[in-house]
């Protein structure tokens, strides 16, 4: 199971508290993890990735193992510690506004 930390707005939308855990079939990539999250919580479709293009929304970031993976290829494998469930994959609302 892959551990995923969602930001508060998305936890509220999905009606969850704390981390969520999803089964990811095949290689554990950013794309596959987000696909699994959206499959389980369809109300989150379009909130992390643009509905039309599938690209990461500009003010959403993806962190794991103290690394910013936002600009990595969505098809790159995620770190082993995420794959093993030792670390979560984090969806973060970027610092913005003022």
- Is 31 a binding residue for another protein by CB under 8 A? The answer is no
* Sequence-ordered list of residues with C-beta below 8 angstroms from that of 61, at least 6 positions apart, any chain: 68, 70, 91, 92, 93, 94
Stretch that binds another protein, among 5-13, 31-39, 70-78, 81-89 (CB under 8 A): 5-13
> Cα separation of 75 and 11, whole Å?
25
Task: Find, among 91, 41, 37, 46, the residue nearest to 64 by Cα.
Answer: 91
Query: Minimum Å distance from CB 10 to another protein?
Result: 6
Count of positions on this chain that bind another protein (CB under 8 A): 19
Stretch that binds another protein, among 20-28, 30-38, 56-64, 80-88 (CB under 8 A): 56-64
Check: CB of residue 98 under 8 Å from CB of residue 11. Answer: no
Query: Which element (helix H / strand E) includes 1?
Result: none
Query: Minimum Å distance from CB 16 to another protein?
Result: 13
Binding positions for another protein, rule: CB under 8 A: 7, 9-10, 13, 43, 45-48, 50-52, 57, 59-60, 93-94, 96-97
């Amino acid at each position: 199971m892959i551990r995923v930390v969602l930001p508060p707005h998305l936890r509220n939308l999905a009606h969850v508290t704390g981390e969520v855990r999803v089964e990811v079939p095949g290689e554990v990539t950013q794309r596959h993890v987000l696909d699994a999250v959206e499959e389980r919580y369809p109300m989150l479709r379009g909130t992390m990735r643009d509905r039309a293009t599938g690209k990461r929304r500009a003010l959403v970031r993806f962190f794991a193992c103290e690394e910013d993976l936002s600009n990595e290829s969505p098809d790159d494998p995620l770190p082993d510690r995420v794959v093993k469930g030792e670390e979560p994959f984090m969806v973060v609302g970027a610092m913005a506004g003022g």
